[in-house]
Amino acid sequence: MIHEKAPTQGTKLPPHYTECFGCGDEQPGGLRMSTEVAESYIIKSTFDVTREHQGAPGLAHGGLLACAFDEALGAAVGQLLRKPAVTGKLETDFRKPVPVGSTLYIHARIDGVSGRKVYASANGHLDAEDGPDRRPGAGAVRHRGVRALHRTRRRRRTG
């Protein structure tokens, strides 16, 4: 399922677009996430939560957290399958608030492909990539997504 030209373990992934809200380094107020490929084709992303990302006082906005997970899942699909895709469905379970000043570590993976649908999931952990919340299902946030592979059709004009 992983594309033969997928980046290998240890590869740091550059922004796919410098003005991307999730990973772009030229997007003011963006998430500016950093991403790399880990062993077993896990995509590891980090998101430093700042005051600009808060919803309730002192806490990250839930929509921005979902955006961070979508960005990590998109990197997994785009980099590991080497195909463009768009988000078809997102499901997020918030287990703990994410405070401003913390770092969210996101590990995303491809779970399967069925036709045009790609199933991917991710877990998030606060302030420690391999801390005590490392056991399955115990992270701050768990996210699952379905991304439909994008197809572009060209239509010929006649007349």
For the chain, domain boundaries: 12-149
If you search the block for the tokens 């779970």, which residue do you land on?
111
Contact 123, 107 (CB under 8 A): yes
Using a pLDDT cut of 90, give the percent of the chain over it: 56
What are the two backbone dihedrals, phi and then psi, of residue 32, each rounded to the nearest 5 degrees?
A: 50, 50
The 10 Å Cβ neighbour count of residue 63 is 11
Full-model pTM: 0.83
Instruction: State yes or no: pLDDT of 133 exceeds 50.
Output: no
pLDDT tens digits for range 6-47: 999 999 999 988 999 999 999 988 999 999 999 999 999 999
CATH homologous superfamily for 12-149?
Hotdog Thioesterase (3.10.129.10)
Contact 103, 65 (CB under 8 A): no
